[in-house]
A = this chain, B = another copy of it.
Amino acid sequence: MLKIYDNPNKMEWSNLSKRPTKSLAEIETKVKPILLDVKTNGDKAIIALNKELDHFHSNDFIVSKAEIESAQSKISDSLQNAILQAKTNIEKFHIAQKEKFVPIETMEGVSCWRKSVAIEKVGLYIPGGTAPLFSTVLMLGIPAQIAGCKEIILCTPPNSNGDIHPAILFAAKICGINSIFKIGGAQAIAAMAYGTESVPKVFKIFGPGNQYVTAAKQLVLNDGISIDMPAGPSELLIIANETANAAFVASDLLSQAEHGEDSQVVLLCNSEMKTNEIIEALKGQLNDLPRKAVAEKAISNSKAIIFNDLANEGIKFSNFYAPEHLIIALDNPEQIADLVINAGSVFMGHLTPESAGDYASGTNHTLPTNGNATAFSGVSLDSFVKKITFQQISKIGLQAIGPIIEEMADAEMLSAHKNAVSIRLKTL
């Protein structure tokens, strides 16, 4: 069960904020040969690795048009409708992130602006496993489509029959993704980073994955391929006071805990009584979960921390921890929300469970973990564009700004920089 800490001293915060750290080094030695193999042998390597690692025995790993088209008929109408409504919501929120940048005249005749231009080729990775993560297809595919990325490809491992869950194919199709490959793990990252005969090379790779996928993404980053963000186990921190509904809070803690044994769950509460109430509710709900074993293990590594003053030490600890997801389970969440400095996504009040953001509220669920919320944002429309700056200077502008540039270039001892201005000024 959750371990309880009572108003811990700041000296202890660092320990209380520790995530399970995995050494890249060991995994790297396994992943590097896979990357090299795919880089060198292309499709051949993919076919062999599909057999060896995913027990998928086929020379054909391209999802056919027919497979994509028939996916819709294999999922219920209610699931189709839910996915379509989620898509509408996610679209609304991400379309609002479009930037309208008006040119700025920084001096008379010196005009500067910037323009968002889609990254031409992006690759999305969707992990396999028991659960078909079609929600992640939406979270990555929708902003890619809004940005206007010309080539959006998707890799995901099939089951041993060579099938991909129809909900994944359906979600991909409605996001305009037509290039889908049955490839998983580090070999999928390698295929998208370096390209093969069948898989186009992309400029940026998105998506979650196991430690091999994560290591592969870090490694191709060193080769100049951009990635969405460093990944780690999912996390939730809840700030709750006496107004919180214990059953709601317990259900949120468990929804995080069921992700995996290494899921991180932290409860900050100003009341010992409420904390105990939440723990009791948690015990009750835990028994009914199909993924009880996983959730129980995650919960046993998790913490409940009493902070008498949530608006002071409580939020300070939350910012120190920098959670991926932050639920503020208070009657009036605004005051605490204003003080949030480090978090991926924030869920306000009693009726906003994390699962709303995971699926359908409209915000993105690809968020910084492992304390990276101190410096990283979640995936957004920004993640799929470059913001290119432009400038144009008129005669009057150059006459005004020219001498400034000359003076500065001179002081930096860059004569040719100065000369590029002087030679123009002389002709005006």
Contacts and interface: CB of A to CB of B under 8 A. Distances in A.
Listed from nearest, the 5 A-B pairs whose CB atoms lie closest are A106-B362, A226-B375, A89-B106, A82-B407, A353-B420
A255 interface: yes
A86 B401 CA distance: 9
Interface in A320-364: 333, 337, 340-364
Given A79-B408, A356-B405, A362-B391, A413 B130 contact: yes
For chain A, what secondary structure do more than half of its interface residues adopt (helix, strand, loop), or is it mixed? Answer: mixed
B382 A375 contact: no
Contacts of A44: none
Interface string A167-206: 1000000000000000000000000000000000001100
Contacts of A375: 119, 203-204, 225-226, 386
B258 A415 contact: yes
7 contacts: A79-B407, A86-B404, A104-B362, A167-B411, A355-B414, A358-B409, A359-B405
Contacts of A289: 415-416, 419
A117 to B, nearest CB: 6
Interface of A: 24, 75, 78-79, 81-83, 85-86, 88-90, 92-93, 96-97, 99, 101-102, 104, 106-107, 110, 112, 114, 117, 119-120, 130-135, 167, 203-204, 218, 221-222, 224-226, 230, 245, 247-248, 251-252, 254-255, 257-259, 285, 288-291, 295, 333, 337, 340-364, 368, 370-378, 380, 382, 385-395, 397-398, 401, 403-405, 407-409, 411-421, 423-424, 427
Contacts of A418: 355
Contacts of A370: 224
A119 B368 CA distance: 14
A101 B363 CA distance: 13
B398 A351 contact: yes
A254 B422 CA distance: 13
B361 A407 contact: no
